[in-house]
Amino acid sequence: MSFDLQRYLKARKALIDRELDRLLPPQNRYPEKIHQAVRYSIFAGGKRLRPILLLAGYQTFKDDFRRCLPFACALEMLHTYSLIHDDLPAMDDDDFRRGSPTSHKVFGESIAILAGDALQAEAFALLATAGFESGFPAKTVLKVIADLAQASGLSGMITGQALDMETQGKKYTEKDLEFIHRHKTSALIRASIVMGARLAGAREKQIQALSGFGERVGLAFQVADDILDLKGGKAFGKPRGSDKRKRKATYTDLFGLKKAEQRSRELVAEALKFIEDFSDRARPLREIAKFLIERTY
Amino acid sequence: MSFDLQRYLKARKALIDRELDRLLPPQNRYPEKIHQAVRYSIFAGGKRLRPILLLAGYQTFKDDFRRCLPFACALEMLHTYSLIHDDLPAMDDDDFRRGSPTSHKVFGESIAILAGDALQAEAFALLATAGFESGFPAKTVLKVIADLAQASGLSGMITGQALDMETQGKKYTEKDLEFIHRHKTSALIRASIVMGARLAGAREKQIQALSGFGERVGLAFQVADDILDLKGGKAFGKPRGSDKRKRKATYTDLFGLKKAEQRSRELVAEALKFIEDFSDRARPLREIAKFLIERTY
């Protein structure tokens, strides 16, 4: 059966963009600046990978994936908040992302901080309210909220980002790097897939398999990002070698390009192994996993 | 019946502090700095007003208030995150809070931003997990999560803070000031009481009354804060007139001290009117409301 991944991604992205537009307050709402800032970063050209993974996780078990769109959008809000804060002068100090000026360059630092803060709150507000309106069991929705909150806080993204900042310009170990990748990037990607499967009522054993899949895919994604930073490329939207100039902890810095390419292939193979018993319904997940390393060629 | 408010507040604060200590990861957890930063700000001498209000809201209907302690702690985490971000150089640029150096002065700006971000995520993680462990109905917990998220995001705290930043040093109207007070301060105070009442299974009409009470108390609290900023006082922990120097929108600036004192008394009277039919179980709420303006004398 043929499967056109690019077409699939494009169609999903269009659905998610439309839903985000529907869910976010208009940019002329008083006070205007913060509402503009929130929309600016949400619609700054993201690939919508995490919401797409949530939908693909759901579709591995059930068809009516549109029910999950608000949950998927909450993930994108949370991811966008993390990008806005990552780009701040006190953090990575990036002036551009995906080729456009970053939030603090356009709206100033205080509004950028607040836009990030708002998007985190709105993500949880959306999960809690969608929990009512979508008809999913309240207990399942609570678990999904816990999944996202734990992937974002001290057990996830934040500690990864904190160690990323601390190791910048300093000596770091393989253990540090592994911690950064696992928490900064992999936790949220893993949560995306798990949340989708949970909403579809997947059994615990299936959720565990997808959790393992998601973790490896998340790690592969970050190694691929390190490779892309070194190799550059138009799609990347950031100047080539920006991590290197900041002396960030990266897989390519610690082990070199060749080993990084090998590692990303290994991780994807490990990921696929976790879901080898799944039916063809998991095809989008499999294709996305393979695509993550193809994009580095 | 006699009621010793100071003793009540002290006992509640001790309970909440102990629970926060139990809930937060140890400060020597790897990576250490972010965990230290989180604990530093949580234990920087807060009055625990919001968690105390949640417990008092619950006790207006039911006795076994210890069941609510994790929910109360989530409120304090959320409030503490907002203080850490408010103090940042790009925001209010405060070096001290309650007499101690602010988070970014101790840990640097990047860790301070991340500590705030983490506390927001941990607040929601705690609500979702406490939702399971405490035995409250999952639907009630979802509503409580929505209460907090909406009070913190674009319908609440963030837009108030955004307008506060935008009006700084500029001309502002009474409408702007009202919006700032209602969103920046009152939304979370109101949510605290409502969340407590909701967990106790209060009826919709009772929740509406407490919502009106909480809103007025929140507004009175902010006007009192404006008065204290002008009058100073040891308990305030910030240099006197700090809002004035920053040319912030305050009630005292727009209407003068005398009218501000009158307004805070009016607001407390309005608040009390909302709950005049409530039994003596609402006494802590009433006493706290009155205390908010007494502290300005």
- A 49-68 residues with CB below 8 A of B? none
Task: Give yes or no for residue B48 having a pLDDT over 70.
Answer: yes
Task: Give yes or no for a contact between A170 and A180, defined as CB atoms under 8 angstroms apart.
Answer: no
- B 95-124 residues with CB below 8 A of A? 108-111, 113-114, 116-118, 120-122, 124
Helices (H) and strands (E) in chain B, counts: 15, 2
Mean pLDDT for the stretch of residues B57-61: 98
The partner residue sitting opposite A149, judged by closest CB among B121, B139, B165, is: B121
Q: What is the pLDDT of residues B80-121, one digit of tens each?
A: 999 999 999 999 999 999 999 999 999 999 999 999 999 999
The domain ranges of chain B are 5-294
Q: What is the pLDDT of residues A95-113, one digit of tens each?
A: 999 999 999 999 999 999 9
Provide the terminal-to-terminal Cα distance of chain B, rounded to the nearest Å.
Answer: 25
User: Scanning the structure block, which residue is given the tokens 């615990």?
Assistant: A204
Mutation for A interface: B159, B164, B246, most A CBs within 10 A: B159
pTM above 0.90, yes or no: yes
For A149, name the nearest residue in chain B, comparing CA atoms only.
Answer: B125
The partner residue sitting opposite B162, judged by closest CB among A33, A127, A129, is: A33
Phi first, then psi: give them for residue B35, nearest 5 degrees.
-70, -35
Q: Which of B81, B92, B83 is nearest to B114 (CA)?
A: B81
For B135, name the nearest residue in chain A, comparing CA atoms only.
Answer: A139
Which of 1.10.600.10, 3.60.70.12, 3.30.9.10, 3.40.50.2300 would CATH assign to domain A5-294? 1.10.600.10
Q: Binning pLDDT at 50, 70 and 90, where does residue A2 land? A: confident
- A154/B35 CB distance under 8 A: yes
- B34/A158 CB distance under 8 A: yes
- B165/A38 CB distance under 8 A: no
- A85/B113 CB distance under 8 A: yes
- A117/B116 CB distance under 8 A: yes
Mutation for B interface: A39, A126, A145, A179, most B CBs within 10 A: A145
Contacts of A109 (CB under 8 A, 6+ apart): A88, A89, B90
Partners of residue B96 on adjacent β-strands: B101
Sign of the four-CA dihedral B233, B238, B239, B240: negative
For A116, name the nearest residue in chain B, comparing CA atoms only.
Answer: B117
Q: What is the pLDDT of residues A114-143, one digit of tens each?
A: 999 999 999 999 999 998 888 999 999 999
The partner residue sitting opposite A146, judged by closest CB among B35, B116, B125, is: B125
Cα distances (angstroms) measured from residue B265 to each of B3, B50, B270, B291: 21, 20, 9, 11
Of A23-32, A154-163, B56-65, B245-254, where does mean pLDDT reach its minimum? B245-254
Q: What is the pLDDT of residues B263-292, one digit of tens each?
A: 999 999 999 999 999 999 999 999 999 998
Mind telling me how many Å the CA of A141 is from chain B's nearest CA?
A: 8
Phi first, then psi: give them for residue A39, nearest 5 degrees.
-70, -35
CA geometry: angle at B160 spanning B159 and B161, to 5°? 90
For B113, name the nearest residue in chain A, comparing CA atoms only.
Answer: A85
Contacts of B186 (CB under 8 A, 6+ apart): B214, B215, B217, B218, B219, B221, B222
- What's the confidence (pLDDT) of residue A91? 97
Query: Does B23 contact A at CB distance below 8 Å?
Result: no
Query: Does B173 contact A at CB distance below 8 Å?
Result: no
- What's the confidence (pLDDT) of residue B118? 98
Query: Does A142 contact B at CB distance below 8 Å?
Result: yes
Q: What is the pLDDT of residues B217-260, one digit of tens each?
A: 999 999 999 999 888 765 556 667 888 888 999 999 999 999 99
Phi first, then psi: give them for residue B135, nearest 5 degrees.
80, 5
Q: Binning pLDDT at 50, 70 and 90, where does residue A1 land? A: low
- What's the confidence (pLDDT) of residue B253? 93
Mind telling me how many Å the CA of A108 is from chain B's nearest CA?
A: 9
Cis omega (within 30 of 0) for bond into B31 = yes
Is ipTM > 0.95 here? Answer: yes
A260/A9 Cα distance (integer angstroms): 26
Task: Give yes or no for a contact between B114 and B158, defined as CB atoms under 8 angstroms apart.
Answer: no
